[in-house]
Homo-oligomer: A and B are copies of this chain.
Amino acid sequence: MLPKNTANNIPQNIINKLKESKNIIILPHVSVDGDALGSSLALALALKKAGKNVRVYFEEEIPQVFTFLPGKEFILKYSNFNEDSSKMSKAETVVALDTGDLERLGNRVEIFNNSENKINIDHHPTNTYFAEINYVNPKAAATCEIVYELIKAIDIELDNDIALCLYTGILTDTGGFKFGNTTSITHLIVSELLNYQLDIPTISYRIFDAVSKEKLKLIGKAINTIELHEDGKLALATVTKKMLEETGALDEDTEGIINYVRNINGVEIAALFKEKEDLEIKVSLRSKSYADVAEIALKHNGGGHKNAAGCTINAPLGEAKKIIFDDLIKAINTHKS
């Protein structure tokens, strides 16, 4: 079933260019995530079925968590235009996917600029419309939603592999269908994807639940550091260099720990102090509703959004906490109407 309310939104010139081209290059953004990767591989798999030569160029290795995705045969790591052995660094048509601006193409902007037809398909509201042909739909929860539409519009049949790529992208960009960007259309598209063979529990485990023993131990230690202030409205937690050493966890394993702190009932502001160096403390800030943590971060030369921000304080750990503490208390007690 083709969801009626999503069909026919794709500009006809995108459909035509892709149908006319024999050689097509797809470019996801740098620091590739589930949606950029899923949409790129889904489109590559679909265009291959339509008889095209397709390549997907990455700036870096595929993140370990996504190595289960199909379509590896299309993937090339791009470092230098002239070193490319695939003879595909130039193509009639290049499609940038999930990429808000040209900078997000990194070195691969060379490929983009050297192609005859330049297409930009994205869902970021900040997209700069940097191509000749642009299709930006900020209402789409994921670029995978748009690529789903596009594959339908070119009249290529979905299959298990394409469905897996699209599902993964939608899953990651909606946080498992629980972010506010999730729409009726999101679920309508996923409803069709589930007509293909997808091992839902395994995909979900790999993307959201799987954890290394080192990271889990770090989480345990970080939880043990939690201090509550202001009747439980302010929660502070700490990750020291020593904790990383003791657990064997990586620096990237600190990601997500702030959420455990934020999720405590009654907490309005959560702050995580990560000791990067002896005099370099990275502070991650989250608020649940009214408190503006961007304001606090900004005051300490950081930035972010109202409910998620961060800054770096150059001081020893204990000192860093003292430096920002009063601002946290003030934000807790400032109810803006």
Contact = CB atoms under 8 A, between A and B. Distances in A.
Contacts of A226: 213, 216-217, 220
A327 B222 CA distance: 33
Contact of A259 (B177, B191, B201, B209): B209
Given A179-B200, A211-B265, A195 B191 contact: no
Interface string A233-248: 0010000000000000
A177 B188 CA distance: 13
Interface in A208-230: 208-213, 216-217, 219-224, 226, 228
Interface in A148-182: 176-180, 182
A192 interface: yes
A194 B216 CA distance: 35
A184 B178 contact: no
Given A204-B178, A259-B209, A264 B191 contact: no
A128 interface: no
Contacts of A232: 213
A330 B220 CA distance: 29
Given A205-B263, A210-B263, A223-B217, A200 B182 contact: yes
Contacts of A299: none
Contact of A224 (B182, B186, B194, B220): B220
